[in-house]
Amino acid sequence: MEFNILSLIYLLASITFIVGLKMLSHPTSARKGNAVAAAGMTLAIFGTIFLYNEEGETLGNYGWIFAGLAVGSVVGTLAARRVKMTAMPEMVSLFNGMGGACAALISIVEFDHLMQLLDGPGVLILMLADEPGALLGLVIIILLGLIIGSVSFAGSMVAWGKLNGSLRDFSFRGQQAFNIGLLFLIVGLAVYLAVALPANALLLFYVIFALSILYGLFFVFPIGGADMPVVISLLNSFTGVAAACGGFLYDNKVMLTGGILVGAAGTLLTILMCKAMNRSLTNVLIGAFGGNTATAAAGQSQGAYKEISLSDAAVVMSYANKVMIVPGYGLAVAQAQHACHELEKLLTSKGVEVGYAIHPVAGRMPGHMNVLLAEADVSYEKLLEMEQANEEFPTTDVVLILGANDVVNPAAKADPGSPIYGMPILDVELAKHVIVNKRSMKPGYAGIENDLFFRPKTSMLFGDAKKVLQDLITEVKNS
């Protein structure tokens, strides 16, 4: 009876994961979808703790289990509540890395348990005579969880360090060849271990673990900072696959379903983001875009730029028919989303049509700008995806760019020598007037100069985004 109830719980939990993921596809239902999936996970956790029973054995170790749940819940809740929006990508990377570490630890524990069941080297008493492939399949699943989880953990930690500024891009001559060789070595050792299961299997297992950690580090080190959204999405899919391996290992349907959903969603998002950048995943992983090679172009001056005063900017926007706002990382850094929404409402009250143009890879993680504006209660209907926004720019009077850089850089279309050449961008230069708010003329995350800033239609409005927007609000009220 308990088994049937637990199976039903797992089925319900799997359904909540699917429904929750579906709801996450729309900002208006995303929060509710997150709650639905979380409720399903809670149900699965407590169902496993209290109803699991195999051959008369229960889980046991309840003290450790509930202590871990308590610590994890407190740490996770405090981290989520206190994290700033600018640090959200770092938290996502950190938490994703913890998921990969969990999958790797499961593999370590289970392989050690497997070795204890050996009656002498190479003889498994767990093995059934009529299932000759059972041992091989079990070892393969354990090794996949170990390798993928370790790579995800180490890579996510590097991504976390890059995003918070504590780590820089690192590469050396021949690093790609080194990475490929290291990957082949890991795969070769894993195949040998799975097939032969030698007497030193445990030592070889930990060698594979160490090499996987090393590969994860060198896998992400050379990738430029501008590609971090793609890398985060890819590593997230790795963690999902590693979790799915755990589901196979324990024959746990809900763990398998959750892992498959995360892995599939992460993979699809990675593909979509590469498409948005008009680049292949291979180019992202080996191109070092946004790294030191691109920075060399940063010092090339494009000529003179012109500034605009706050009062003039306020007048231009107040008497416009249509204003498009392009949010970027500078908006997040200044915590200016609420001031931006207030300016939007003020302009709307004056009869100005206001919308937001969202580039798929703006910010530091997938959907960063959407999350930022949702926090300020900006209506989802006002958020236009890149294709929609580009259709609106020719009839737009004023474009207000808040801290965005690379996603509005015309070099992506006009300069074949640019690292971002071919990447679809927001065609802001098609509007009648472009106002760019930046702290300074320093290049963006990709480290390259932006020709847009020197074009006749463009005016620079320097300063912290939050203060500039607050001052603009005052000026618009007085205009």
Q: In the sheet that 458-462 helps form, which strands lie side by side, from edge to edge?
A: 383-385, 353-358, 322-327, 398-402, 433-438, 458-462
How many Å apart are CA 41 and CA 45, to the nearest integer? 6
Give me the amino acid identity at 447.
G
Diameter of the chain measured on Cα atoms: 87
**By the 8 A CB rule, do 234 and 266 touch?**
yes
Q: Is 119 a catalytic residue?
A: no
Beta carbons of 266 and 248 less than 8 angstroms apart:
no
Q: Which of 406, 415, 427, 464 is catalytic?
A: 406
For 419-448, what is the HEC assignment? CCCCCCCCCHHHCCEEEEEECCCCCCCCCC
The contacts found for 375-381 with CB under 8 angstroms, 24 or more apart, are 375/85, 375/337, 376/337, 376/338, 376/340, 376/341, 377/341, 378/337, 378/340, 378/341, 378/344, 380/26, 380/27, 380/28
Sign, CA torsion 101/104/106/109? negative
Residues annotated as catalytic are: 406
